[in-house]
Amino acid sequence: MRILVSSDLHYNIPRSRASAEDLAARACRTGGDALVLVGDTAGADMGPFREALRLFEGFGGLKALVPGNHCLWAYGGGDSLHRYRVELPALAAQEGFVLLDHQPQTLGGVGLAGSIGWYDYSFADESLGIPLAFYRAKLSPGAANYLGRRELVAAHAADLNDRHMSMGVRWMDGQYVKLGMSDEEFTALLAETLRGQLETLSASCERIVAFLHHLPFAGLVPRGRPDRFKFAAAFLGAGRLGEVLMQFPKVTNVFCGHSHWRSRVQIDQMDVLAMGSTYIEKHLDVLEL
């Protein structure tokens, strides 16, 4: 069995389109039993999401995806949870794709589990010493200061230093993702849904491959990078998702997107790969089972 995997096509972003089209052509030429896109296929506008899926019209196997955080972006009064539960699955179905988050698959004895995954700040870089309130606001202290959140800075002034105030980073999900619950609550919800999938698949499959947009293990998080990237580490994933995966010995492979930084860890029996697709370079990984 051959499973093709890619991620972060970001087809709504002009500089990403050529490499996404090239990736899709390669996938269709290579062929396989299944193709899985591990998130950030496009952004708030659903048009490019549909166009991106249509690039794979020539692929003959099962076509599946998990959304990424960018796929939940909603402008104006949009509802990200509704996008996740209703709009994205419906649009994907029209283009011949299943959302693994809601429809895990079984293929020749192999289970395909999936989740957008999320972040609960468990991967925040503690060496920065930034108070949790800034991660919840998705603004570094410097950004909070110049974006009119001075009350946040004032409330934590005793814990802030010049280094903090020189960091002007905002995580844009703060602007465009409206879940109606906290990131911690959403992560917990996803972890339990993933656990349910893995329980069901474990009963009927010989092995399981899992696909998560966000990172489930801290070992995949890029380290030693400049401060603006260190702040972003908090939004790369959640250890809680990894804890769920570790409870299921039939999970042999895990594929992730999101970090745009290729890294790989072995956790027990699991080979866990962050694919490292970027805006201008897309990876196509081939898993032969």
Residues contributing to the site for Fe ion (CB under 5 A): 8, 40, 68-69, 258
User: Which CB atom, from 110 or from 215, has the smaller least distance to Fe ion?
Assistant: 215
Min dist CB 40 to Fe ion, Å, is 3
User: Which CB atom, from 9 or from 143, has the smaller least distance to Fe ion?
Assistant: 9
Cβ-contact 225, 271 below 8 angstroms: no
Min dist CB 274 to Fe ion, Å, is 11
Cβ-contact 167, 141 below 8 angstroms: yes
User: Which CB atom, from 164 or from 282, has the smaller least distance to Fe ion?
Assistant: 282
User: Which CB atom, from 69 or from 263, has the smaller least distance to Fe ion?
Assistant: 69
Strand order in the sheet with 207-212: 105-107, 110-115, 207-212, 251-256, 270-274, 263-267
Min dist CB 279 to Fe ion, Å, is 8
Q: What CA–CA distances, in Å, run from 245 to 88, 120, 238, 266?
A: 25, 17, 12, 12
**Half-sphere exposure (Cβ direction) of 268: Cα atoms closer than 13 Å:** 14
Q: Return the residue nearest Fe ion (CB atom).
A: 40
* Rounded Cα gap, residues 129 and 104, in angstroms: 39
| Strand-pair category, 2-6 with 62-66 | unpaired
User: Which CB atom, from 230 or from 258, has the smaller least distance to Fe ion?
Assistant: 258
CA-based R_g, the chain, Å: 19
Min dist CB 286 to Fe ion, Å, is 21
* Rounded Cα gap, residues 68 and 84, in angstroms: 10
Min dist CB 182 to Fe ion, Å, is 19
* Rounded Cα gap, residues 138 and 173, in angstroms: 8
User: Which CB atom, from 48 or from 68, has the smaller least distance to Fe ion?
Assistant: 68
Min dist CB 39 to Fe ion, Å, is 6
Min dist CB 209 to Fe ion, Å, is 20
* Rounded Cα gap, residues 59 and 63, in angstroms: 8
User: Which CB atom, from 164 or from 178, has the smaller least distance to Fe ion?
Assistant: 178
- Residue identified by tokens 């844009």 is 172
Instruction: Tell me the H-state helices in 83-157.
Output: 88-94, 132-137, 141-146, 150-155
Min dist CB 264 to Fe ion, Å, is 18
User: Which CB atom, from 164 or from 240, has the smaller least distance to Fe ion?
Assistant: 240
